Amino acid sequence: MRTLISDQDQEDEKALRRREKLTAFIREEAEAQGFDLCRITRPDSIPRAPERLRTFLDEGHHGTMAWMAETRERRADPKALWSEVRSIVLFGLNYGPDEDPRGILDRPDRAAISVYARNRDYHDVIKGRLKEIATRFAARAGEDVKVFVDTAPVMEKPLAEAAGLGWQGKHTNLVSRTHGSWLFLGSLFTTAELIVDAPETDHCGSCRACLDACPTAAFPAPYRLDARRCISYLTIEHKGPIDPEFRPLIGNRIYGCDDCLAACPWNKFAASASEMKLRAREDLKEPSIAFLLTLDDAAFRTFFSGSPVKRIGRDRFVRNVLIAAGNSGDPALIGQCLELARDPSPVVRGMAIWALKRLMRPEDFARFAQTRDVEDDPGVREEWRLAGAG
Ligand code: B12
Ligand code: SF4
Ligand code: SF4
């Protein structure tokens, strides 16, 4: 008996073979570039994300990150960002720490820099690799390609969940069964048709460890974050003085926060980062507050060269370190705080006043308050008022 294969069937068969080959090619490339995970989804795979993003923005949970609202249409829908995109490849890179990052939180003379920022800027590390893959893939497939990591208006977490890299846990970050919460994400958009993977399902169950671990109660509900209360937002994204409500709760966290990630039981399956550029620099594991308070602009830039910390600039950084100083209970830091109370930056002067109020004996602080400049910047005058010396 003869089987009749139509031209259409042959075409379909050919297209499928091509998709399979390109899919295998991109997976091999991802592995060669050291990515730990690589899976594929379609641009229409996150139908609930636009509504959820809208709620987040309408409730003001993005705080001063105005760029999130400005890009909302493109962010919510990959097709609005690039109408020709047919497949989205999601990559995960493990940045797991060697030890529990919460260990440093009860050492008040030390400053806690979150795990992701203890070495090279992951944007640089990932972007270079994605560009490499993109160039090779475009040449092989003869298709258009764009790559993104973090800063583009792409909802990386729901897309990664749809591609099956992991699921969005109650702390809102992606959790992987094999890497826990320590994964950076990046994506490659292409006009090529690829074979898609199955989405991951939620494995949080009745656990709420991350929600209970948050020092600032930043989760209004499971799976929802109010960034305005999150220490990561406050210490990295937020400019100007930090609301006094949060200062004591920040403890010694001077750049980002890992508490909700570190609390996740799925981390027991996580290995330490194999990429050397993402393994903690020794001098960023537990830097002393006293040392960090000495950094002027030039020293700050040198010390944090190549690090994501450099992004926030010296003044915002020293603002954070002064909060940690004020929380340290260590009167040995008073001399440095007094010097910083005369710093050219108003945000630094203001936070030095707050730290001094906590570190000095009341009679010493009252004497110091008499030296204040009554004509100072409004933000600094507000700090004097809050310190009871307005
Ligand atoms: C803005 C931003 C922030 C903001 C806001 C964080 C947030 N959760 O939205 C701030 C500055 C606070 C922040 C902090 C951090 N960030 Co950030 N951030 C981003 C960024 C740029 C956009 C995230 C976004 O779109 N938020 C908008 C909200 C609406 O989207 P969403 O978080 O996906 O919200 C979902 C849930 O709320 C859910 N949802 C809502 N209601 C409901 C109800 C139910 C029932 C369910 C199931 C779900 C659900 O649906 C929404 C849409 O999917 C991404 C990069 C990117 N382009 O995606 C990195 C990114 C999320 N950040 C990252 C990291 C590492 C961090 C920090 C860990 C850094 C640190 N150590 O300090 C912290 C973690 C804090 C936390 N718990 O989220 C990684 C996370 C990697 C991962 N494994 O998930 C990303 C992906 C960057 C990257 N390329 O690797 N970040
Ligand atoms: S990063 Fe820290 S402050 Fe932000 S939600 Fe997680 S535990 Fe709370
Ligand atoms: S700590 Fe528990 S609730 Fe939070 S993400 Fe991990 S498994 Fe889910």
Q: What is the pLDDT of residues 12-68, one digit of tens each?
A: 889 999 999 999 999 999 999 999 999 999 999 999 999 999 999 999 999 999 999
- Report the nearest atom of ligand 3 relative to the CA of 213: 1
Annotated binding site: 75, 150, 174, 185, 204, 207, 210, 214, 230, 232, 239, 257-258, 260, 264
Question: What are the φ/ψ torsions at residue 255 (nearest 5 degrees)?
Answer: -155, 100
| Smallest-distance ligand from the CA of 225 | 1
Q: Give the per-residue pLDDT at 212.
A: 98
| Smallest-distance ligand from the CA of 90 | 1
Q: Give the per-residue pLDDT at 150.
A: 87
As a whole number of angstroms, the distance between CA 321 and CA 309 comes to 12
Q: Which two structure tokens, joined as six digits, stand for 203? A: 């494995």
- Please give the C-alpha separations between residue 371 and each of 338, 353, 365, 367, in angstroms, as whole numbers: 11, 12, 10, 7
- Tokens 């996150």 correspond to 46
Say whether 155 sits in a helix, a strand or coil: coil
More confident residue, 123 or 259: 259
As a whole number of angstroms, the distance between CA 185 and CA 187 comes to 7
Q: Long-range contacts of range 147-151, CB-CB < 8 Å, 24 or more positions apart?
A: 147/186, 147/187, 147/188, 147/189, 148/186, 148/187, 148/188, 148/189, 149/122, 149/123, 149/184, 149/185, 149/186, 149/187, 150/122, 150/123, 150/185, 150/186, 151/123
Q: Give the per-residue pLDDT at 374.
A: 85
> Is residue 227 in contact with ligand 1, taking CB distance under 6 Å?
yes
* Segment 105-128, tens digit of pLDDT: 999 999 999 999 999 888 888 999
Catalytic (active-site) positions: 150
Q: Would the pLDDT of 1 be above 90?
A: no
* Segment 118-154, tens digit of pLDDT: 998 888 889 999 999 999 999 999 999 999 998 899 9
Q: Give the per-residue pLDDT at 3.
A: 58
> Is residue 259 in contact with ligand 2, taking CB distance under 6 Å?
yes
Average pLDDT, the chain: 95
| Smallest-distance ligand from the CA of 57 | 1
For ligand 1, atom 80, the nearest C-alpha belongs to 173
Q: Give the per-residue pLDDT at 362.
A: 97
Q: Which two structure tokens, joined as six digits, stand for 96? A: 């797991």
CA 16 to centroid of ligand 1, rounded, Å: 35
As a whole number of angstroms, the distance between CA 324 and CA 250 comes to 7
For ligand 1, atom 75, the nearest C-alpha belongs to 232
As a whole number of angstroms, the distance between CA 344 and CA 184 comes to 37
**6 pLDDT band (50/70/90 cuts)?**
confident
Segment 313-338 mean pLDDT = 98
Q: Would the pLDDT of 73 be above 70?
A: yes
As a whole number of angstroms, the distance between CA 224 and CA 230 comes to 12
* Segment 269-324, tens digit of pLDDT: 888 887 878 888 999 999 999 999 999 999 999 999 999 999 999 999 999 999 99
Q: Would the pLDDT of 4 be above 80?
A: no
**370 pLDDT band (50/70/90 cuts)?**
very high
**2 pLDDT band (50/70/90 cuts)?**
low
Annotated binding site for [4Fe-4S] cluster: 204, 207, 210, 214, 230, 257, 260, 264
DSSP-assigned letters across all residues of 63-131: TT-HHHHHTHHHHH-HHHH-TT--EEEEEEEE---SS-GGGGGG-TTB-EEPGGGSSS-HHHHHHHHHH
